Amino acid sequence: MVFAVAALAAVVVSGMLVTDAAMVSDFAQKNLAPSLAHPFGTDWMGRDMLLRTLAGLSTSVLVGLLAATVSALIALVMGAVAALGGKRADAVVTWLIDLMMGVPHIVLLILISFALGKGFWGVTIGVAITHWPSLTRVIRAEILQCKQSTFVAVARKLGQNPVRIATKHMLPYVLPQFLVGLILLFPHAILHEAAVTFLGFGLPPEQPAIGVILSESMGYLSAGMWWLAVFPGLALIATVLLFDVAGSNLRKLIDPHSSQE
């Protein structure tokens, strides 16, 4: 887990440091295949694809982090309202979950991003709004299970008020699932950001992002410049797998049912 987190941090920091260099064009070096000087090759404008890939991954990871964090907080609030707000609140939240999950993520994300003018904030808000239902169901179930537990019943009989019960008992009970759900939201957010940008409804073309790189490379694959899509695509897959490794190992560490594995 530490290795995965360190690798992701290295990708983000290195991408931020090379953003300006990734935009530099050198037409004398255009369309070069992978070599020692340019491990990922160069594109039709002579830009180094390794630098562009790092800058694109950094942008995609930052969008995913922000969107996943906001989405997880929405899920925490909605799950708590559903579990503690009574039957009517539970019915409303359940209806919203079914409504959101009834529409494909990518379609709803495109509509929200387009309505908000696309760009960084359009795709970030779109991802944040569309990714909370699954985690909300988990948090709702965890809070309901905690609410019916023996130690909460004892706390009520001892005269503890609802706020103290929520902060002392329910929050620690739900926190492990919330943290794991938050980390596992990151790869979904990154992939959907890349997909929407690839389709032209996300980040602008002038901003280095994996979706932009992959979209631009499609017009050059028939000319034999396979490296324009292969290396950025593999880098995106590796980044998503790193998040999955971090989330899976964190679950083993903090989940009481698997902490002894």
Is the pLDDT score of 256 beyond 70? Answer: no
**Band (260; pLDDT cuts 50, 70, 90):** low
Contacts of 39 (CB under 8 A, 6+ apart): 50
- The pLDDT assigned to 261 comes to 57
Nearest to 124 by CA among 188, 177, 193: 193
Mean pLDDT of all residues belonging to the chain: 83
Q: In this predicted model, what pLDDT tens digit does every residue of 32-77 receive, in sequence order? A: 888 888 888 888 788 888 888 888 888 888 888 888 889 989 998 8
Rounded to the nearest 5°, which phi and psi values hold at 207?
-95, 125
| Mean pLDDT across 123-146 | 87
48 three-state secondary structure: strand
- The pLDDT assigned to 257 comes to 59
| Mean pLDDT across 221-227 | 80
**Dist. CA 259–CA 251, nearest whole Å:** 8
What is the set of domains in the chain, with CATH numbers?
Answer: 46-254 (1.10.3720.10)
Is the pLDDT score of 181 beyond 70? Answer: yes
